[in-house]
Amino acid sequence: MAGLNLSKIKKSYGKIEVIHGVDLDIDDGEFVVFVGPSGCGKSTLLRMIAGLEETTSGQIDIGGRDVTHVDPAERGIAMVFQTYALYPHMTVEENVGFGLKMNKVPKEEIDEKVVRASDILKLGPYLKRKPKALSGGQRQRVAIGRAIVRGPEVFLFDEPLSNLDAELRLEMRVEIARLHKELGTTMIYVTHDQVEAMTLADKIVVLKDGLIEQVGAPLDLYENPDNKFVAGFIGSPAMNFISGEFKDGAITVNAIPGRSLKAEFKDNRSAGPISLGLRPEHIQTVSEPGNYNVDLVEELGGVSYIYLSTQSGEKIISEKSGRANVKIGESVSISFDPVHALYFDPESGLRCYSV
């Protein structure tokens, strides 16, 4: 078992720097999820921790030991990838135990570890099968089994469920949560899946362009994003941004004439444009002609999403439980409780904290 400490780590490929100085502490036993848009550096960061990519500068400690330039095999980590990379000619049993066999671990010890891992992963009935006779989920379980038998201090997962269909993803997500509970080992998990990040993580790390935007517990990030990027990235459908004007201690919303919200900010900001952040569940569509046009309605049964736009092209999504009760093309108004509104500087994207 081990925690991690990343200090000022950077990565360049030739002259191009892709990780620009990341500082991060991960506690022993924590489940940490890296999220961010494609190309932001999630895999690179994970591979640097694994030792599969050289670290250009900075320091990586695992369990209090500087491993920045230590061989991957000596870091006490095991990594699970999106592609399972199983040996097709070997059985499940042989695949799971192969790494140990290569390391000349005695056969009895291998057998014991394989049985234990297959118990945890419910692979018992498939031990004699070859990978081609397994489902995608079972194959990914074998890949995880291969990681478990190594008894790592830290598990690293890079989008391990991306190749599975929706139903299997859900099943494997629950499995991975259970695995973490059972083993109590530190896990770092890369995903672009909102639900995986929200449900698995003790702590989410939001990355953008090779830098950390914010670190926090899932609901902290959801409720208290530091900036527009995090606000828009965490949550699905995403947070809505509505343009308003701040002046004389009050905010007016361009598309809702006649409404004014009292506001006082810590940064003593001067009058000017401000962006209101509101989650879909906090915006009500009102069937009264107004400045919003209904572009699309999605009724999922339990919940409906109403896609709205203003004449100036500002798009928002309003969530309603049950039926939508509005039609495409209808002109409507919106309402919201200002306690749910977050404010952002439209230029910098930074949160404007109220007094």
Cα–Cα distance for residue pair 334/306, rounded to 1 Å: 11
Helix (H) or strand (E) segment spanning residue 247: strand 240-247
Which candidate, 4, 3, 2, 18, places its Cα nearest to that of 57?
Answer: 18
Integer angstrom CA distances of residue 158 from 80, 119, 139: 6, 23, 15
Q: Which is nearer to Mg ion, 160 or 277 (CB)?
A: 160
Q: Which is nearer to Mg ion, 43 or 318 (CB)?
A: 43
Q: Does 43 bind Mg ion (CB under 5 A)?
A: yes
Shortest distance, position 158 Cβ to ligand ADP, whole Å: 7
Residue 207 identity (one-letter amino acid): L
Q: Which is nearer to Mg ion, 43 or 285 (CB)?
A: 43
Q: Which is nearer to ligand ADP, 42 or 146 (CB)?
A: 42
Binding site for ligand ADP (CB under 6 A): 13, 18, 36, 38-44
Cα–Cα distance for residue pair 333/310, rounded to 1 Å: 10
Q: Which is nearer to ligand ADP, 36 or 218 (CB)?
A: 36
Residue 321's binding partner out of Mg ion, ligand ADP, none, with CB under 5 to 8 Å set by partner kind: none
Extract the tokens encoding 276.
Answer: 């209101």
With CB under 5 A as the contact rule, which of the stretches 38-46, 121-129, 216-224, 343-351 interacts with Mg ion?
38-46
Shortest distance, position 242 Cβ to ligand ADP, whole Å: 30
Residue 353's binding partner out of ligand ADP, Mg ion, none, with CB under 5 to 8 Å set by partner kind: none
Shortest distance, position 92 Cβ to ligand ADP, whole Å: 29
Shortest distance, position 33 Cβ to ligand ADP, whole Å: 13
Helix ranges, the chain (H): 42-50, 92-102, 107-120, 136-148, 166-183, 194-200, 218-223, 228-233
